[in-house]
Structure 1
Amino acid sequence: MLSTTETQANSGVHRESALQFVVYLLLLAGAVGSFLLIQHFGQTLSAPDAVDAEAAPKVGKAPGVDVVLHVLATLAAIIAVGNLFAWGFRKIGQPAVIGEVVAGIALGPSLLGSISPELLHVLIPGPNVDPQGMVLSSLKTIAQLGVILYMFIVGLELNTHKVGRHARAAIAVSHASIVVPFVLGAVLSLWLYPRLSTSNVPFTSFALFLGVAMSITAFPVLARILTDQRLERTDLGVVALSCAATDDVTAWCLLAFVVGVAQSQISSAVMVAIWTFVFIAAMFFVVRPLAIKWINWAEPRGYDRQATPILFIALLCSSLVTEAIGIHAVFGAFLLGAVIPHDSRVAQELSRKLIDVVTTLLLPAFFAVTGMNTRIGLVSGMESWLICGAIILVATMGKCGGTIAASRFVGLDWSMSTALGVLMNTRGLMELIVLNIGLSLGVISPKLFAMMVIMAVVTTVATAPILKLLIKRIQPELAA
């Protein structure tokens, strides 16, 4: 039995609870009564006539379409399917990015659109529902932001000291692996231009862009393949990473010039090249020393932990400058990352914070946009597939041949040279970034874009199995 004190305590608790419930009901009744009173007086008021819908469009809305709803649905679908494909490709020894690229193509008109156009339009509405293309435009904006941040991370992780230690071999091999495929790509453009281009695209822009597209090596994908094969610390791995890093810097500088040519007349393109050179010099000879000095001062004092807003402002400003010069914003993002010491706590912390958000949430939008732009159905008929095969063959011959020749020239043996040539033929995401730039500028047609995407996927998929075969034969030499 409860004591008198306990009974009184329980009785007090019940009274307090009852009182709180009554107060809650009164509060709720007061809110409802207040709103009804406000509504009564509000109905006596008059408002100005409605503004024309075109003059004041609803945020996130297009006529007959909810932009936010479709963008969220598309992102959810590409993340889910991309991770599923990435898991499958990892199981067969391929880099996850290939699975994500294939997922983007599968959710686009090439597969989903051919099976069920209605289901595709659930993600990306057709022009009859979204005549202004606001859903795709919103996805493109997210994709651009994702690519800019991704290239910034690539720059942050670039080991410039490692490149310096292997500078002689890296510069010779990387430049040969750019020059040879660039020239072969330009030669191939003589055959492709009358077949896959139009008169409003100057041949010079077409040839330059095709040459650059043939010259790209995907530094992040190559690094992932080396890590998966446990080769990143071997002589082959160190030289390959050094070559790929040097290749990236050179190729992006070359791309900057090509974009300037494509967007301007030759005289204007020269000014673009001059301003690009000034910008690069300023980043390496002004911004980098200042960044190193500030990091050396701030890290011991803990001030580097408040550097994130400053770095984001610098990232946006660097991207704005390169966009204003006439080259793509991703170049400014990459270069800013490259001038920040990769082994500093600032670079490591920022890279760690960004990598998951960028690769998991933002980059899938890029894969979705790439998938929407890729229409494999355009590559139809024997002639089209022969052209596609020729592109793959020329790209492989240029990259592998140029790399092997230069590697032998600097004194590497045949085994190392061959493995290096196979690795440098990796293209992956970097190639897709370049191709999307070319498509957005109108330099390459949707049909050629589809062929080049196929080339990027095929050359990247071929890297890991061929490398495994080579490693079985030359493992003792690589382990030395």
Structure 2
Amino acid sequence: MTGSTHQSEMLLFTVLLQLIVMIGAARLMHGLFRRMGQPGVVGEIVAGLLLGPSLFGHFFPGVSLSLFGAKPEPAITVLSQIGLILLMFQIGSEFEFGRLKAARLHRTTIAVAVASILVPFLAGIGIGRLSASSLAPGVDSFVYSLFCGVAVAITAVPILGRILGEYGLTRSDVGIVAISAAAVNDVVGWLLLAGIAAFAAAQLSVTYLALHLGGLALFLFALRFVAAPLCDRLVARLPLRDGAIPPHVLAILLIVIFTLALCTFALGIFAIFGGFAAGLLFHRHRPLVEAWNAQVGQFVLVFFLPVFFTFTGLRTNLLGLSTGPELAWLAAVCLIAVLAKIVPVYCAGRANGLPHHESLTLGALMNTRGLMELIVLNVGYDLGFLPRSMFTILVVMAVVTTVMTGPILRALRDMRALPFQTTHARPQVYGVQERP
């Protein structure tokens, strides 16, 4: 065996071992959190954190270093990014913009969406401005503050949909308003993130920024008026076979997803946005989306998602927040993030005629951040505008705000404030039935 062959075999051995640990830990925590009444994906996020320096790397540093190395292997990094691109396609394809057309709820939805974006975004910018000197020295404070703003403003549509299904709120007024406002929230959030990422990558050059934003505008125009009609023709000409996507159609879908990912990468706004854009192209074709979720979606969730969560966990050291100021900022960020979501959403609900208990439930639902938050944070971290300490603080905030949603809804149910009807149907995550 030559030296290069041996090296390749050792790399394969290491990556396979890492995958076994990641997937096994994610499934274990998924089941545990489901039994605790939490979304299984929250357990997978926690599993990724536990495999990092916060627990495994702290108590077994030698084993952790042998298994994961000082930093994630390039192969694991690439796998996590491919998984994110495919996941973003699923998220984009699951957006149901038709719900926004419900006239009686339209005004409430828009009011809640604006409240859930504007106030948290401004609160996040305030956090960034105040914490820049202590938590982000040497980092551009303006861009750092913008990333903090998006991180506080985001709402996790996929996990929110799963929570609505579990508590029987999917078809209720409050459920329709919540998922519709969250959809608007995410679209605006991704646009903000794309713009900020382009601005940050431009290194504050006005000319470079103008070229990239012009390229982004051209990309969006081509997406709407060229790519969308072509995709519609593709779906019409190549129908499903017995409810399944034919192999050649699946290959075309993957080519479209990865091509758009290359386009957004070239525009300086990260390849994952290309996956999301591809999902928006196909979201109207529900049979195709359902077939994708059945054939590919489960594999993406079970294989790729744990890789991304562990990739994030290896960057997050909860034990690194050891100083008084860092712990104070952790408490402040969590408190501000919760209040900046729940209070304005509650006020928007009340102003539009929703009763007290439904407005409170709406605020709790819109406070859910989860996976979407982690994607935002990794973009900021990769660009170098979120230092490790603030990255860790915001990761904790994402987990806390997601975990607290279930207990708040159960408390409201126990108080008989809402006519909850817990469903026994399997909930869905990203359009795929979430299995125990």
TM-score, L = length of structure 2: 0.89
1:186 counterpart = 2:142 = no
- Kindly provide the CA deviation profile for residues 228-262 of structure 1, in whole angstroms up to 9, marking residues without a partner as x: 11221222222211111111111000100110111
Q: Find the residue that maps to 1:373 and give its secondary structure.
A: coil
Q: 1:467/1:367 Cα in 2 relative to 1: closer, same or farther (>3 Å)? A: same
1:139 counterpart = 2:76 = yes
1:159 counterpart = 2:103 = no
Alignment of 1:72-111 (within 5 A): 72-111=16-55
> 2:362 is matched with which residue: 412, 417, 420?
420
CA distance in 1, matches of 2:166, 2:135: 38
- Matched letter for residue 188 of structure 2: T
Larger mean Cα displacement after TM superposition, 265-274 or 150-159: 265-274
Residues 105 and 370 in structure 1, CA contact (< 8 A), matched pair in contact too: yes
Q: Specify the alignment match of 1:130 in structure 2.
A: none
CA distance in 2, matches of 1:111, 1:194: 29
Residues 400 and 424 in structure 1, CA contact (< 8 A), matched pair in contact too: yes
Deviation at 1:100, TM superposition (A): 0.8
Q: Specify the alignment match of 1:26 in structure 2.
A: none
Q: 1:279/1:442 Cα in 2 relative to 1: closer, same or farther (>3 Å)? A: same
- Matched letter for residue 279 of structure 1: F
Q: Specify the alignment match of 2:228 in structure 1.
A: 288
Q: Specify the alignment match of 1:258 in structure 2.
A: 196
- Matched letter for residue 174 of structure 2: L
Identity over aligned pairs, percent: 36
Deviation at 1:87, TM superposition (A): 1.1
Q: Specify the alignment match of 1:299 in structure 2.
A: 239
Q: 1:245/1:61 Cα in 2 relative to 1: closer, same or farther (>3 Å)? A: farther
Q: Specify the alignment match of 1:385 in structure 2.
A: 327
Deviation at 1:190, TM superposition (A): 1.9
- Kindly provide the CA deviation profile for residues 445-480 of structure 1, in whole angstroms up to 9, marking residues without a partner as x: 11111111111111100001101222343324999x
Deviation at 1:402, TM superposition (A): 2.6
1:66 counterpart = 2:10 = yes
- Kindly provide the CA deviation profile for residues 87-110 of structure 1, in whole angstroms up to 9, marking residues without a partner as x: 111111111111111111111111
Q: Specify the alignment match of 2:163 in structure 1.
A: 225
Residues 163 and 245 in structure 1, CA contact (< 8 A), matched pair in contact too: no
1:358 counterpart = 2:296 = no
Q: Specify the alignment match of 2:286 in structure 1.
A: 344
> 1:176 is matched with which residue: 103, 106, 115?
115
CA distance in 2, matches of 1:414, 1:249: 28
Give runs of ≥4 in structure 1 deviating > 6 Å: 300-304
CA distance in 2, matches of 1:246, 1:389: 28
CA distance in 2, matches of 1:281, 1:415: 42
CA distance in 1, matches of 2:230, 2:110: 26
CA distance in 1, matches of 2:412, 2:6: 53
Q: Find the residue that maps to 2:38 and give its secondary structure.
A: coil
Residues 163 and 246 in structure 1, CA contact (< 8 A), matched pair in contact too: no
Q: Specify the alignment match of 2:152 in structure 1.
A: 214
- Matched letter for residue 193 of structure 1: A
Q: Specify the alignment match of 1:333 in structure 2.
A: 275
- Kindly provide the CA deviation profile for residues 276-302 of structure 1, in whole angstroms up to 9, marking residues without a partner as x: 233223323332233334434543898
Residues 168 and 421 in structure 2, CA contact (< 8 A), matched pair in contact too: no
> 1:475 is matched with which residue: 409, 418, 421?
418
> 1:118 is matched with which residue: 58, 62, 82?
62
TM-score, L = length of structure 1: 0.81
1:245 counterpart = 2:188 = no
CA distance in 1, matches of 2:5, 2:272: 28
Deviation at 1:382, TM superposition (A): 2.6
Residues 167 and 420 in structure 2, CA contact (< 8 A), matched pair in contact too: no
Alignment of 1:32-71 (within 5 A): 58=4, 61=7, 66-71=10-15
- Kindly provide the CA deviation profile for residues 401-438 of structure 1, in whole angstroms up to 9, marking residues without a partner as x: 23223333333332222111111111111111111111
Q: 1:229/1:59 Cα in 2 relative to 1: closer, same or farther (>3 Å)? A: farther
Q: Between Structure 1 and Structure 2, how many residues are aligned?
A: 414
Structure whose alpha-carbon radius of gyration is higher: 1
Task: Name structure 1 gaps, 5 residues minimum.
Answer: 1-52, 127-132
Task: Name structure 2 gaps, 5 residues minimum.
Answer: 423-436
Residues 236 and 478 in structure 1, CA contact (< 8 A), matched pair in contact too: no
- Matched letter for residue 68 of structure 2: I
Q: Specify the alignment match of 1:462 in structure 2.
A: 404
- Matched letter for residue 146 of structure 2: L
Across the aligned residues of Structure 1 and Structure 2, the Cα RMSD in angstroms comes to 2.4
CA distance in 2, matches of 1:319, 1:336: 9
Deviation at 1:180, TM superposition (A): 0.6
Q: Find the residue that maps to 2:73 and give its secondary structure.
A: helix
CA distance in 2, matches of 1:367, 1:285: 36
- Matched letter for residue 83 of structure 1: R
CA distance in 2, matches of 1:109, 1:293: 49
CA distance in 2, matches of 1:74, 1:477: 41
